[in-house]
Structure 1
Amino acid sequence: MKTKFQPQNARELALVALEGVVENGAYSNLQVDQLLKRYPLVDKDRRLATNIIYGVLQHKLTLEYWLNAFVKGKRLDPWVKTLLLSALYQYHYLERVPDWAVTDESIEIAKRRGNPGIRKFVTGVLHAVLRKGLPDLRQIKERDLRLSIENSVPRWLVNELTTEYGEEDTEKILQSINEPAHQVIRVNTVKTDLTTVKQTLDAAGIEYQESQVAQNALVITKGEIISSDLFKRGEITIQDESAMLAVESMDVKPDDKVLDACAAPGGKTVQIAEALTNEDGHVDALDIHQHKVKLIEKNARRLGVGKRVTAHSLDAREVDQLFADESFDKILVDAPCSGIGLLRRKPEIRYTKTLNDSQQLHKIQLAILNAVAAKVKKGGIITYSTCTILRQENETTVQAFLAEHPEFELVKTATARKVKDNRQSPTLTILPSDFNSDGFFISSLKKGI
């Protein structure tokens, strides 16, 4: 780096964050959180930096297609390419940001970080873009390629979604995943109630809508919630509407013994624990990594349910090491998955996942279900859920499990708000386009008596 990094500059901070994600494989949400804690920005600049980071990641294939028209396949230093992509993103998607501001600051960053030749190159490209305009994506004739570039998703995913859901639903899904993600809170009924939380939000000037998807949930439409006293006191927690439905569907009773087999960071664990109001009720939560076990415990303490939760460092496939057969009334397997339902929140995963990853995950998911099958009591239910919408990891996994375990039957998944209750399938799939929430899959596997 030619001169000292200027972290107070929103665009330069965004560039550094994007380098971490694109070049080093960092998770976007962690990278953003770490950089903004280390280099705090005023609110306006923080919003700009965050917008650029997630925007470039969401629209990366689109931006690369546009950029290629101006660089003609020229080999670029990674940071130079990322700088140009971020400028194109701002030109096209940020209507309130003047083009001259984007151009001037991008050239200044190129000047600080590179040599005169790089500065001159960046200047030439940006001026050419402003002079000629960006290529029209509608000129791409092949449907799958056009959808891939328009929505910035790999072609394999376009093909797979089209096979599974048809052309019309695929286009709706792809359009929805680049819309802004909602911030949703779930009210912690151990410490407060929905009415009280609404009153507190009203007094603080935080705007919200009641969730159409999950009970005790509010969609925040304006205002900062993570720094609020409600969050600090553990009266609310951040959780997507779709993700809440897995535990909702379990219908946890006050004295149930529950296993959360793939628990970290513990959002569903504490949701289960809230319902365990009898002193006999308890939830055991598993995760492979010790640091994530501590995260589960921290989450449980913050929400006031620490005594109802025991977290273990254990691979769910090794449950025989800790638990006897028929130890639990209910088991939640919120399985490791490709995360395709989370593209709105974690846009970078669309470029790293492959169909083969999904096939390998199916094997792991089935192994976990096979391992925990004996641990649920007769008449009990295993709730199997994922945050993907690929059937290879959802219906295919469930059917493979049922084929090996005739003692289980698939029963209809029900939620408090009767979400998609008129569907034909007993399993519940929430597409990102259904409610502008995360994509999610839930199934309920009942063990015969």
Structure 2
Amino acid sequence: MKNKQINTARGAALKTLDQVLQNGAYSNLQLNQNLKSSQLSEVDKRLATNLVYGVLQHKLTLEYWLTPFIKGKKIESWVKTLLLMSIYQYRYLDRVPDWAVTNESIELAKQLGNPGTRRFVTGVLHAILRQGLGDVNAIVDPIKQRSVEFSLPQWLVDELIKQYGQPTADAIFKAVNEPARVSLRVNEAKTTIPQAIAVLKEQGVEVEPSQVAKAGLVVKSGDVVNTDAFMQGLVTIQDESAMLAVESMAVNPADQVLDACAAPGGKTVQIAAALDKKRGGSVTALDIHAHKIKLIEKNAQRLGVADRVHACQLDARKADEKFEDGQFDKILVDAPCSGIGLLRRKPEIRYDKKLSDSQNLHKIQLAILNAVAPKLKKGGIMTYSTCTILQQENDGTVQAFLAAHPEFRLLKTQTARTLKNARTGATLTILPSDYGSDGFFISNLQRL
């Protein structure tokens, strides 16, 4: 692809997709960077965002449809991405006429490639419009059929069906391809929920209370990041499910808390908002990377809780090097995980993961829990959470920890809105299909 700036929504989307698919860039960071450097209108930025996330979410489906039209042909990666993006628009964007999609795609091929590229793209798109797209229901193998229909790797389809059963798994498959909504946490260290709603409304942002998290708000319209409410730390962007781990901890104002896997600090500052510096409350936040420690500190400054936050560069598995046994009232282990609960928000991660990654992460999670457990006071609570829905990283890790630590017992995870309270198990799993929020797992372990 010629290194040429195309200042259109489709040009920005194509550039971003090529960087994500070919260079492994993170979709959210790369898209934000490209949109910030563009001259696009808000409408065009929304279209570019839709195209990027739509193509990433439906990539395997789009490739299934494209394959018969390019079979045996060697094409550059960006040309394939342009064709996938075109098919996505034909199939999923009802308001954009096919002729407009075709013309825009041919124009991009002309500007970014050579005359041969333009002719090739023109021929493929016209053939697609003439012949139509293949029927995914014609795939006989049920695992492969769902893999293609929902654009999920076959191992993940198979694993989720085994763990949750067919009906629940199908609901998950559908949910992870729906658009992610923006949610906020009200920073109750600085304001109240009614005040935050009123201030946001004044600044052109319409919200409604979350049905998932007590301090959560769901954005209906408006750009939050450029509001005074966000910049002054009255609210912060956080998924509703992600708020529940700290909510379940029932932090007391004078607690000494360890956040063992803290970056970028969303849960650290949530813990800090419940603490009172004058009464000795503080949270120690760990991460292995220096630049992420700075990120935690920056978050704490913006939200006005820096006096209660001590960020420290340390691998939680080396907790013995820094902390005394029985030092903390509460410990949060929001552990490194496969992130399968975040597929709606980070669609590209589904293509990079393998089942063995999840099994290896289980070992790391267990090592972190083993290392920090002695640092908890007797009677104290250790909250273990992940943003995955794979049971080997969730209940599997908890059960393995309990088997090795008879001095701990499992408590029932409680949330302010008593979510899924009729469940039989003590741990809480929020599926992407439950409330339209991210998938999340929370458990609470008490030291006896």
- Scaled by the length of structure 2, the TM-score of the pair is 0.98
Q: How far 1:204 sits from its partner (Å)?
A: 3.4
**Could you tell me which residue of structure 2 aligns to residue 169 of structure 1?**
168
- Preserved CA contact (<8 Å) 2:277 2:307: no
Asked whether 1:211 is paired with 2:210, we answer yes
Distance, in Å, in 1 between the alignment partners of 2:39 and 2:236 is 23
**Could you tell me which residue of structure 1 aligns to residue 432 of structure 2?**
432
**Could you tell me which residue of structure 2 aligns to residue 314 of structure 1?**
314
- Preserved CA contact (<8 Å) 2:277 2:308: no
- Count of residues in correspondence between the two structures: 447
Asked whether 1:445 is paired with 2:445, we answer yes
**Could you tell me which residue of structure 2 aligns to residue 46 of structure 1?**
45
Distance, in Å, in 1 between the alignment partners of 2:68 and 2:308 is 59
- Show the 5 A alignment for 1:9-28: 9-28=8-27
Q: Deviations over 1:79-114 (max 9, x none)?
A: 110010001111111111121221111111111222
For residue 73 of structure 2, give the secondary structure of its aligned residue in structure 1: coil
**Could you tell me which residue of structure 1 aligns to residue 352 of structure 2?**
352
Q: How far 1:278 sits from its partner (Å)?
A: 4.5
Distance, in Å, in 2 between the alignment partners of 1:369 and 1:40 is 48
Distance, in Å, in 2 between the alignment partners of 1:228 and 1:204 is 6
Amino acid at match of 1:311: A
Distance, in Å, in 1 between the alignment partners of 2:307 and 2:204 is 34
Q: Deviations over 1:287-321 (max 9, x none)?
A: 00000000000000000000000000100001111
**Could you tell me which residue of structure 2 aligns to residue 98 of structure 1?**
97
For residue 189 of structure 2, give the secondary structure of its aligned residue in structure 1: coil
- Show the 5 A alignment for 1:45-444: 45-279=44-278, 280-444=280-444
Distance, in Å, in 2 between the alignment partners of 1:185 and 1:334 is 19
Distance, in Å, in 2 between the alignment partners of 1:55 and 1:47 is 12
Q: How far 1:272 sits from its partner (Å)?
A: 0.1
Range with greater deviation from structure 2 (114-123 or 259-268)? 114-123
Q: How far 1:228 sits from its partner (Å)?
A: 1.1
Q: How far 1:201 sits from its partner (Å)?
A: 2.7
Distance, in Å, in 1 between the alignment partners of 2:73 and 2:438 is 38
Distance, in Å, in 2 between the alignment partners of 1:139 and 1:222 is 40
Distance, in Å, in 1 between the alignment partners of 2:218 and 2:297 is 26
Distance, in Å, in 1 between the alignment partners of 2:185 and 2:298 is 17
- Scaled by the length of structure 1, the TM-score of the pair is 0.98
Q: How far 1:73 sits from its partner (Å)?
A: 4.2
Q: Deviations over 1:45-86 (max 9, x none)?
A: 111111111110000000000001211242321111001000
- Preserved CA contact (<8 Å) 1:66 1:134: yes
- Preserved CA contact (<8 Å) 1:187 1:197: yes
Amino acid at match of 2:186: V
Structure 1: tracts of 5 or more residues without a match: none
Distance, in Å, in 2 between the alignment partners of 1:322 and 1:37 is 41
Distance, in Å, in 1 between the alignment partners of 2:208 and 2:150 is 28
Q: Deviations over 1:204-256 (max 9, x none)?
A: 34222211110011111111111111101100000000000000000000000
Distance, in Å, in 2 between the alignment partners of 1:64 and 1:9 is 24
Q: How far 1:398 sits from its partner (Å)?
A: 0.6
- Preserved CA contact (<8 Å) 1:7 1:39: no
Seen in structure 2, the aligned counterparts of structure 1 residues 188 and 40 have a Cα distance that, compared at 3 Å, is: farther
Distance, in Å, in 2 between the alignment partners of 1:193 and 1:344 is 30
For residue 41 of structure 1, give the secondary structure of its aligned residue in structure 2: coil
Amino acid at match of 1:390: L
Distance, in Å, in 1 between the alignment partners of 2:206 and 2:234 is 17
For residue 23 of structure 1, give the secondary structure of its aligned residue in structure 2: helix
Q: How far 1:10 sits from its partner (Å)?
A: 1.3
- Preserved CA contact (<8 Å) 2:189 2:304: yes
